[in-house]
Structure 1
Amino acid sequence: MLDERSTGTTGSRKRSKVADALAYTFFLPPRRVQEQIVKVIRAVDDQVAALDVEAKALNDVYQAATSRLYRTAEGEEADSRFLGDVMHLDVVRTPMEAGATYHLAGVLNVGKGLVDKGEFDGADTEYSAMNILRENQVVMRKLTAWEGPITVVPSDFDGFVASSEFPTFTLTNDVAPGWMKHVCRTPRLWAEMKNRVVGTVQRRKRLNPDQLLSVAIPVPSRPEQEKVAEALDAIESEVIAIHEETARLCGVRARLLSGLLDRSIDISSAESGA
């Protein structure tokens, strides 16, 4: 209700007047019912808090386990290889044609993956051609590469497009894409990328493909890569499941609170359900 009376054009800038807030009317249940509602909502909040703690603990385990990415089965650091020896620049361009629909992707910082930026018509871009992303390729953003915008293309982003600021690389057969995905999330790689960027203005610094390929990192054998990637994938899956459950509970909380306050949900049934 207050949002309908607020002024401004954007969500972060919209404001409500004090008078509107003071004039807002709502159902105020008896004190006993208020306390019951607080009890029910607190039970959900406690579950959300417990899930947050569990997710943080698993994230800490994941971060600690990433050191294994660069080690052999014996625990020794693997021999270093230039990225140019394990992948090569492999860019395929597609023309932007009016009437054709394309799906745009962006690369998130610190190896967090890709973001779906929606569909567009070929006539609605200033680019005459764009790069095609293909499954299991490495893709990076040249601009502000010191922030770690690099990842491996997952299957659900196969065929997406990005501008020429996003070069793509194909891995050699002795490098597992799943291993490289996790390598792209390590500060060790970001630091190496940062050391090679060029430019005088911080926000305009770029990393060219040949500079990325000059980075050297320890590369264990493919079986060792696949083993550690499998372990990290398992941790990642647990974290994702926890976040999904947290989101579900937050949705339940919002609906529950609204229903309890407008009396569309009976407090006794809510207590038994919590």
Structure 2
Amino acid sequence: MGVRWHGKGAYGRGIVTTETVKAKSLYRAREGDFTFNRIDTQNGAFDVVPAELDGALATNEFPLYEVDEEEAEARFLLLNFRRPEVLHQISTLRAGSEGRARWKEADFEAWIVPVPPLSVQRRIIELIDAVDDHIAALDAEADALDALLRGRKEELFARYAATGTPLPIGEVLEEVKRPITVNPVAEYRQIGIRSHGRGLFTKEAVTGESLGSKKVFWVEPGDLVINIVFAWEGAVAIVPPHIKGYCGSHRFPTYRRLDGGDAEFFRLFFSSKVGTRLLAICSPGGAGRNRTLNRKRLMQSPVGIPSASEQKRAICELQALEAPVMAVRAEANRLRAVRATLLSGLLDRTIEIESAELGV
């Protein structure tokens, strides 16, 4: 067995034999054992061994601990060690370590955990479970809505590929450059682009001096922006109306329609399977994630373009399907933030359990 990062928990790593196993020693896990991954622990690789992994074998990279049931609930400890502030503390302590330094058993055993009475621990677990159930329900709803969106998107763009006018993208989109002469004492606000069509994000303002020799360009609302390093992962977005006075590096080229149409059509296209596949084809290379988009090749690639009226109709339909997905995911993320605040308040006693139970 192993333990994944980011709270994804323990999992079966497959079957080994005495001939294929590389570890010198193996240890048998039991249901209810507390365990963690010694490598990159700050990424939240903690869990309680579930029933389906009872009897599984672990290397010394995944220490196993029996929990004294008269002192603590294993899942209560898990709640503690998955808290963002605890993971940040672990990360800070490991900041001077090189490479993938291990957080060893002595580090874990020296950690101080607040341990209220068992009855209180169980009430806290029940409260957080109730919030987690709500988050899981929202995630499932968002996934179902997203499946409808993706299905309709594939249907539309497959139709346009078959019936639309095939045009090289470069005949419909043009790159627009707005270079900045950087003032060392001025402040500049930059954008970033998330992969998998998750949109733009903004960064803290920095001085021109800190930009050094970095080339930056203004972005404007309505621009189609591509992250050329992660285009193959769908890192494409439209600059929204409220993003004004921001800039991006040379790795974020911006595009506008040549025909007066809405660039949103291409944002939706690049978020479809066929669009993302095209970005991947135009991003050669296989050295890890180092796959830079060949912009010239992308602009030469033909795409089926429907009529202007059909483009507008498709944009409206797909945006209408996309809006509830985004709203439900935003609500789930808001609830995750509430959960973190609630758990911290319950553990440091700034939130009373009784009031929390009423609220939940």
> TM-score, structure 2 length as denominator?
0.63
- Does residue 26 of the first structure (1) align with residue 114 of the second (2)? yes
In the alignment, is the contact (CA less than 8 A) between 1:70 and 1:77 conserved in 2? Answer: no
- Residue 53 of structure 1 corresponds to which residue in structure 2? 140
Deviates more, 1:56-65 or 1:80-89: 80-89
- Residue 268 of structure 2 corresponds to which residue in structure 1? 182
- Does residue 8 of the first structure (1) align with residue 84 of the second (2)? no
- Does residue 105 of the first structure (1) align with residue 184 of the second (2)? no
Shift of 1:95: 0.9
- Residue 225 of structure 2 corresponds to which residue in structure 1? 139
Shift of 1:64: 0.8
- Does residue 122 of the first structure (1) align with residue 208 of the second (2)? yes
- Does residue 67 of the first structure (1) align with residue 154 of the second (2)? yes
Shift of 1:171: 0.5
> TM-score, structure 1 length as denominator?
0.79
- Residue 277 of structure 2 corresponds to which residue in structure 1? 191
Structure 1 residues 7 and 63 mapped into 2: Cα distance closer, same or farther (>3 Å)? same
In the alignment, is the contact (CA less than 8 A) between 1:198 and 1:205 conserved in 2? Answer: yes
1:17, 1:200 → 2: CA distance? Answer: 38
Matched residue of 1:227: which SS?
A: helix
In the alignment, is the contact (CA less than 8 A) between 1:104 and 1:117 conserved in 2? Answer: yes
Root-mean-square deviation (Å)? 3.5
- Does residue 242 of the first structure (1) align with residue 328 of the second (2)? yes
Letter in 2 for 1:252: V
Shift of 1:204: 4.9
1:96, 1:84 → 2: CA distance? Answer: 30
1:267, 1:187 → 2: CA distance? Answer: 47
In the alignment, is the contact (CA less than 8 A) between 1:193 and 1:212 conserved in 2? Answer: yes
Shift of 1:122: 1.6
Letter in 2 for 1:20: A
- Does residue 220 of the first structure (1) align with residue 306 of the second (2)? yes
In the alignment, is the contact (CA less than 8 A) between 1:196 and 1:211 conserved in 2? Answer: yes
Deviates more, 1:56-65 or 1:12-21: 12-21
Deviates more, 1:141-150 or 1:83-92: 141-150
Letter in 2 for 1:61: L
* Number of corresponding residues: 270
Higher relative contact order (CA 8 A, sep 6+): 1
- Residue 17 of structure 1 corresponds to which residue in structure 2? 107
